[in-house]
Structure 1
Amino acid sequence: MAYRFRLGDRTVKRAVHRIACEQIDGALAAIAGKPRDKAIHEVRKACKKLRALLRLVRPGFPGYSYENTAFRDIARLLAFTRDARVMLDTFDLLLAGAPEDFDRAQALFLRAHFAQALEQPGVEDAADARLEEVRGLLRLARERALGWTLEQEGWDALGPGLGKVLDQAGRARRAVARNPGAAQYHELRKRMKYHWYHTRLLEPVWPELMKPRAAELSRLADLLGLHHDICMFEQRLETCLPGSRYGHSAAALRGLAADRRKQLERDTAPAVAKLLAQETEALMDHWGRLWAVWRAGGKPAA
């Protein structure tokens, strides 16, 4: 179930049908056979891949708006436990990197406060109910996917969507340079992650070129994902007001979070600049030529 185009796909439309159904089938299998937390993770990951696939063919896909919203809403149904888990995982990450003189014992009282969100009565039952709802929604989406139509074929169906995401990533990078806030970094993270998925889909056109780019985009996605989690963590810490029993620990953790966030910003900037160094039109033209060579007689990726 590799997330990529194949030479055996006679048309882009058939490829889109196949890839969409593979992702939906994988999500349904996770719901049926994996532990709850793992199933939720797998479903949300599949929805991200599906939305990236849709963005690649967006300019010529009449059903884009409806289907993108449908998969976004499916993922959101399962987001409520993730946010609580992110708080704990980010807490543990920051605490592991804290200096030796950091008051860990006091901070653990705050961690217990965050953990309560995962221990509320009914959380597990709610998760099971939402997974069952998602199962039904995914089955309906699979039926629709088999009937998706595209207004273009070949590279004409893919190039404009690839370029649109790259242009959006460039604008997001410039917005971060002007105002490096959480919202601006969140937008950059989304656009670079879509480009990562697009690179993976197109990897067979020239694996020697695409695999290293995909690997760097994967690394960047991890770093920007951690940046996003830390921003969420900082926002949550703002609710622990000075003077409360958690105020001192929250203030100390905010300092750790800010230091780590700023380091991530320094680490990601060069990678983003390199990945977006080529003009969008030039990259679209280059990859389009690679697509044509591959489709004309290239060998499938192993």
Structure 2
Amino acid sequence: MPFHLIKREPIAPGLRRIAREQIIIGLEDSADTSIPGNRGVHSLRIRCKKLRGLLRLPQPLMGDTFAIEDRRIRRAAKQLAQNRDSQVIARLIASFDGSTPEPAREQQPVSRQDVEASRRILTNCLEAVDDWPLDLHGFYDIAPGFARTYRKCLSAWQKVMVLPSDQNFHRLRKWGKYHWYHIRILERLNKPVLRKRRKRLRKLQLTLGDAHDLVLLQSYLGVREHADEQLLRQVTERKNQLYEMAVSNGRKLFRTPANELVANLSRCWAEQGELNVNNWGQSQAPE
């Protein structure tokens, strides 16, 4: 179940296939009792993020449907977010000094009721996928959505360059993740080049994700009556190191203007040739 368009796969059927597969994976993982509870919930949350990223490719052509689907997928993810921060804080403090913070004793797993509520929302989404208004015939139809997301990325990057605050880095993480998902979906258009970009974007996400977790821990320690000042300094120092790594990576990623990146992908699409749905289906048939 690849999270990318297969070579020569028409865009509309391909996006529907990817969306259906992601929802099914999330539903199966969250229903599998052999998978530890947190991992099943995590899988469901990841599918929600990927779906929201995917929807931003055809967004300009989807009209009100985009807002409806994005809103309910976001609601499904929100059902699963309880106690995540306390779990992150517990894990991080243990990684620094091996102690067990108060949140670790207080945290509770996401209730089965909330998991089932999220699953019901995604089941409804699955039923709606075939009705999404995806009148897409080539890369030029999703280029506006791709460009819009990448421009949000570039805007977030510029804000980081002006003011490298936690808030601005978090915004870069958000839009960088959606751009990463788009590159993953389109990677087969130019695998050697886009694979390199995809790997850099993944590295950026891991770096900024770790930094965001440290922001949570920093905030938690900062409001405690008897804060561990040494630990707080260690956390702040490590967070700043991660930000420096993210900036170094971002200088390579975000030096390409949106128009240039879109033009490059358009050429790749034209060079690989566009097949209609029937021809593509025949080309996938076993010999």
Preserved CA contact (<8 Å) 2:41 2:115: yes
Q: Mind listing any 5+ residue stretches in structure 1 that lack a counterpart?
A: 96-103, 242-246
Counterpart of 1:182 in structure 2 is: 166
Counterpart of 2:231 in structure 1 is: 253
Cα deviation, 1:39-95, whole Å, max 9, x if unaligned, reads 1110011011101100111111221111111111111111113222111222233x1
Q: Percent identity?
A: 27
Following superposition, the deviation at residue 285 of structure 1 comes to 0.5
Return the match for 2:214 from 230, 254, 260. Answer: 230
RMSD across aligned positions (CA)? 2.0
Cα deviation, 1:156-176, whole Å, max 9, x if unaligned, reads 222111111111111111111
Preserved CA contact (<8 Å) 1:13 1:149: no
CA distance in 2, matches of 1:91, 1:67: 37
Instruction: Give the direction of change, closer, same or farther, for the CA distance of 1:248–1:148 in structure 2 (3 Å limit).
Output: closer
Following superposition, the deviation at residue 151 of structure 1 comes to 4.5
Counterpart of 1:100 in structure 2 is: none
Give the total of aligned pairs.
Answer: 275
Following superposition, the deviation at residue 288 of structure 1 comes to 1.1
Preserved CA contact (<8 Å) 1:60 1:151: yes
Verify: 1:77 aligned to 2:76, yes or no. no
Counterpart of 2:181 in structure 1 is: 197
Following superposition, the deviation at residue 230 of structure 1 comes to 0.8
Counterpart of 1:68 in structure 2 is: 70
Counterpart of 1:27 in structure 2 is: 26
CA distance in 1, matches of 2:115, 2:248: 40
- 1:290-301 to 2 correspondences below 5 Å: 290-296=268-274
SS of equivalent residue, structure 2 residue 273:
helix
Preserved CA contact (<8 Å) 2:180 2:198: yes
CA distance in 1, matches of 2:218, 2:273: 48
Following superposition, the deviation at residue 22 of structure 1 comes to 0.4
SS of equivalent residue, structure 1 residue 2:
coil
CA distance in 2, matches of 1:168, 1:142: 28
Cα deviation, 1:169-188, whole Å, max 9, x if unaligned, reads 11111111222211111100
CA distance in 1, matches of 2:244, 2:6: 38
Q: TM-score, normalised by structure 2?
A: 0.90
Counterpart of 2:197 in structure 1 is: 213
SS of equivalent residue, structure 1 residue 150:
coil
Verify: 1:277 aligned to 2:276, yes or no. no
Q: Mind listing any 5+ residue stretches in structure 2 that lack a counterpart?
A: none
Counterpart of 1:141 in structure 2 is: 125
